[in-house]
Amino acid sequence: MEFRLLIHDGTPRQMRLDEGTITLGRSRSCGVQLEDPILSRQHCALTIDAGRLVVADLGSSNGTYVGGERVDVRDVAVGEVIELGSVCMIALEATGDLPAMDCDGLRNQDRISELVAMATDESQDLPRAGEELHRSAQRSSNLLAEIAADHLVDELVTLLIRSHPSRRNAFARALDRMIGEKLLESCADREQLKEAARKIVKDEITAADLENPEAN
């Protein structure tokens, strides 16, 4: 059985899945790079082997969900929804139709509904991964400095979290708030998202410092 993967991380698109394993996450080294700041660099992996599609979480901080349930390793049936943070994905047969779906209990119902609507609308085709890659390449010169800066900040935050348990708990609470408050959906642009995230992180670090003053 051949598969295609519908993806919505702010931009709906689709890609063909070949036999073997691909990684998904924030890192540019992943087979599928996803736009969600709360995802891990190497968040999960998808493997196709003898007609089976298997998803495996790669020790991510915020988990991999299939059908609304957090999983470590799990077979994925055609039409099941995979969710990583605010990203949603649906695996389909390469030439098959989209099956009837129930979005109850899923975390990103709006994005899933949008993806389903676009996939079933024969008047418009979902952009394919290659087309989106071409558009991204056209923007790459403007984004290079920003990506490098974000990478450095990410490394510094990782070092801080590893060496400071109270900071680690504060960041975990901040991420939970960002998901619960649907920051990605409510912010109009990247700068607004950064500012809102910065405020949440500052609030949680301040609260952690008040709870554990001796840890500072």
In the predicted structure, residue 136 carries a pLDDT above the cut 70: no
The architecture that CATH gives domain 3-127 is Sandwich (2.60)
Q: What are the residue ranges spanned by the domains of the chain?
A: 3-127, 141-215
Top mean-pLDDT range of 16-20, 99-103, 121-125:
16-20
Please give the average per-residue pLDDT across 108-124, as a whole number: 69
pLDDT band at 117 (very low <50, low <70, confident <90, very high): confident
In the predicted structure, residue 164 carries a pLDDT above the cut 80: no
Choose among 77, 108, 104: nearest CA to 93. Answer: 77
- Mean model confidence pLDDT for the chain: 75
pTM score of the predicted model: 0.56
pLDDT tens-digit profile of 175-206? 777 777 777 677 777 777 778 888 888 888 88
Q: Contact, 175 vs 182, CB < 8 A?
A: no
Neighbours of 167 (CB within 10 A): 20
pLDDT band at 17 (very low <50, low <70, confident <90, very high): confident
pLDDT of residue 138: 45
In the predicted structure, residue 120 carries a pLDDT above the cut 70: no
Buried b (16+ CB within 10 A) or exposed e, 11-23: ebbbbebeeeebb
CA–CA distance, 191 with 96 (Å, rounded to integer)? 40
Q: What proportions of the chain, in percent to the nearest 5, are helix, strand and coil?
A: 45, 25, 35
Choose among 104, 100, 108: nearest CA to 9. Answer: 108
Instruction: Report the DSSP beta bridge partners of residue 204.
Output: none
